[in-house]
Amino acid sequence: MKIRTRLSIQYILITIGIYSLSMLFVYRQFKKHKEDQFYEALESNARVTAEMVLLNEEELQTVKSGKADLSSAATIVNTSIYNNEYRRIFTLDSLYPIASNKILKSIPADQPQVFSNGDYQGIGLEFISARKNKYYVLSEGKLNYIPLIKLRNILLIGTLLTLIAVALGAWFISDQSMRPIVRINKEINEILPADLSRRLKVHASPDEFSVLVKTFNLLLDRIETAFNSEKSYISNVSHELKNPLTAIQSQIQYALNKDRKSDEYKKILTSVREDTADLSNTVEKLLQLARINSIASPDKMETFRLDELIYDVQDSFTRSFPEFHLELNITDLPPEEEGMEVFGNYSLLKSSCINLLENAGKFSNDHASKWTIDFKDPGGIKMEIQNNGNPIKADDQDKIFRPFYRSQSNIKIKGSGIGLSLVKTIMDLHHIDIKLQSDEINGTRFIFIFPIKKNTQV
């Protein structure tokens, strides 16, 4: 069922329900008012008749009952008087049925009693004459329901007309309410992958649909950014992989052109091995960058000791890069194990540390770097990786964390431009900020602080 139809039906049901309850209340109140008027008139008639008839109580035996004209019996009111032996001693209309003893016995002494006698409704009361004799005075008649029937018919017709008006109004209102959705759907269908720069029109009225459109436009911004990043990623990946593959292929073709001396073959194979190693390193970083989000899911996070990670990184780094020199300094190691625990993904943090150390050694003039860990920093566990290479220009400091970015001043140094972007992505997933400081005196320093476990685990 469409939303427009569902809204219309709900609106109709709610409105008609409220209207019907209101009309039912009006009908019942009018009926009660008519009945109260009817019984008040009967009681008044009974008391007046009793006062007049019982003035000459001793002559009741000789008074003949009058006969009423029954041509309009629906409006005729008859009054009868019964003695304490439940015999009718007076009536205005002898054609009215005699009240049963059950009705007479049910009349209390202190208040009037409403009763039904066949097709008639009446009210009875106990009356004490001047001679202290007890009598039962009954005034009865037929309640005129014709006004109630007319009112009921009017209300039913009014309800039907209201139902029609409400149905038309509900359809109009739902149509007006759903027009923005129809417009939004049309605009969304016109957005194609070939042009993700298009956005939905935001209207000036600050309603929920405007908020929805703004939210959807923000989503399109993120999608466009991701799409452009993906295109850039694919372009850069193809470039990074194509160059070493072309170099390897060219060297192999050069070696196969003619027979060469063993020294020439060794030189060519050594160059191919270096290009293959660079290619393998690039592919490994690309794979890490591609699968990082799945690896960093919350169920892959754990609590571990940071000192274990530090020594593991040191061992792996020295074995993978024996040409680099690493100086490790750990200060103020806490005596309690809890002071060294952090929460995160062990393998990702290890990879980010190795990439930072590799970057520091690669761009250092003496291929040396310094790694300092301070456990007493008030903000958490502070890490600092420093080298003595040429300082990074201010214009490049905001760009070096972008994927595949290479500074022109270091273009001759082998690299893919992936390492630092991988580090930044991993640190962002762990909500760790990286600070970069680079100058002529202190060299280049990457500083980041690990929150302790209780602040990291959310």
Q: Looking at the predicted structure, is the pLDDT value of residue 456 above 50? A: no
Distance CA 205, CA 340 (A): 54
Question: Would you say residue 73 has pLDDT above 80?
Answer: no
* Helices 146-189 and 208-256, packing angle to 10 deg: 20
Q: Which pLDDT score is estimated for 408?
A: 58
Q: Kindly compute the dihedral angle of the four CA atoms of residues 275, 279, 285, 286, in this order, to the nearest 10 degrees.
A: 150
Q: How confident is the model at residue 415 (pLDDT cuts 50, 70, 90)?
A: low
Neighbouring C-beta atoms of residue 152, cutoff 10 Å: 15
CA dist., res. 307 & res. 340, Å (int): 7
Helices (H), 296-341: 306-320
**Confidence (pLDDT) at 60:** 61
Rounded CA-CA distance 26/29 in Å is: 5
* 411, pLDDT greater than 70: no
pLDDT at residue number 315: 92
pLDDT of residue 67: 45
Section 215-230 average pLDDT? 78
pLDDT at 298: 59
- Of the given ranges (75-79, 144-148, 352-356), which has the lowest mean pLDDT? 75-79
Distance between CA atoms of 405 and 212, rounded to whole angstroms? 36
The pLDDT score that the predictor gives to residue 132 is 86
Question: Rounded to the nearest 10 degrees, how much is the dihedral formed by the CA atoms of 73, 78, 84, 85?
Answer: -30
Confidence grade of residue 221 (pLDDT, cut at 50, 70, 90) = confident
- Distances in Å between the Cα of 331 and the Cα atoms of 170, 377, 382 are 74, 10, 10
Q: What angle do CA 11, 13, 14 make, to 5 degrees?
A: 65
Contacts of residue 199, Cβ cutoff 8 Å, sequence gap at least 6:
217, 220
pLDDT in tens, 305-334: 888 999 999 999 898 888 899 999 988 888
Percentage of the chain exceeding pLDDT 90:
10
Contact 196, 220 (CB under 8 A): yes
How much of the chain exceeds pLDDT 70, in percent?
Answer: 84
pLDDT at site 377: 77
Q: What is the mean pLDDT of the chain?
A: 80
Q: What is the DSSP letter of 444?
A: E
pLDDT at 29: 92
Rounded to an integer, what distance in angstroms lies between the CA atom of residue 161 and that of residue 168? Answer: 11
What is the predicted pLDDT for the residue at 123?
A: 93
Is 352:310 a contact under the CB 8 Å cutoff?
no
Per-residue pLDDT tens for 121-141? 899 999 988 888 899 999 988
Per-residue pLDDT tens digits for 379-394: 788 889 998 888 888 7
Sign of the Cα torsion 382, 387, 392, 396 reads negative
Cα distances (angstroms) measured from residue 81 to each of 73, 93, 96, 138, 390 = 20, 12, 13, 6, 126
- Residue ranges of alpha helices (H) inside 87-145 are 101-105
DSSP string over 352-376: HHHHHHHHHHHTSTTSEEEEEEETT
CB-count exposure of residue 372 (10 Å: 0-12, 13-18, 19+): middle
- Per-residue confidence band for 71, with pLDDT thresholds at 50, 70 and 90: very low
Count Cβ atoms within 10 A of the Cβ of residue 305 and give its class: 0-12 exposed, 13-18 middle, 19 or more buried: middle
pTM of the prediction?
0.49
- Residues 225 and 345: their CA atoms lie apart, in Å, by 26
